[in-house]
Amino acid sequence: MMLEDIDRVLLTEDEIQQRVAELGEQLSQDYAGKDLVIVCILKGALHFMADLTRKISIPVDMDFMAISSYGASTKSSGEVRILQDLDAAIANRHVLIVEDIVDSGLTLKYLVDNLSSRRPASLKIATLLDKPARRVVPISPDYNGFLIPDEFVVGYGLDYAEKYRNLPFIGILKPEVYSK
């Protein structure tokens, strides 16, 4: 059972939905009148993307990028591999990266460098979660749902070994689950 592996709930379904709605309103104001492409970073940002875009009241294009980090599964190595690239070009368009969580910042740094080289009109970052305590590169999201402590979380898109993504809340995994 998935629930037995959860130590405690950090963010409830209601808390997430309320904050996501606020972010959607903010983005609708900030990007009004602009040609916006929202880039979802798969797989972790899937649920955030789906809920966030439904709270945005201006027209948006959606595109998807699948990446994978090498190395241990609870830590990012900074080496990023593109598994699936964007469908469309982003030159001269306003691009918003939608990510699940910023931890060391290495993944986002890679994405920002990669997408910047394609000459978008602007490039910003929206992340659901931010763990500032673990940052190794100076990068901060333009839009953030929640600041969270340095604990390994799962649910609402976030996995451990591809499991727990379908939990509707964000929870802290029992350490014995990943130290097994």
CA distance 90 to 119: 7
> Taking Cα atoms as reference points, which of 58, 69, 53 lies closest to residue 32?
58
Q: Does position 144 bind ligand 5GP by CB under 6 A?
A: no
∠ CA 11-17-20 to the nearest 5 degrees? 100
Name the catalytic one among 85, 103, 142, 159: 103
Taking CA atoms, 106 is separated from 25, 36, 153, in Å, by 28, 25, 18
CB of 1 to ligand 5GP, least distance (A): 19
76/144 with CB nearer ligand 5GP: 76
Distance, CA of 42 to CA of 124 (rounded, Å): 17
Regarding 105 and contact with ligand 5GP (CB under 6 A), the answer is yes
Active site residue 113: no
- What minimum distance in Å lies between the beta carbon of 80 and ligand 5GP? 8
Interaction site with ligand 5GP (CB under 6 A): 44, 76, 99-108, 152-154, 158-160
Catalytic residue positions?
Answer: 103
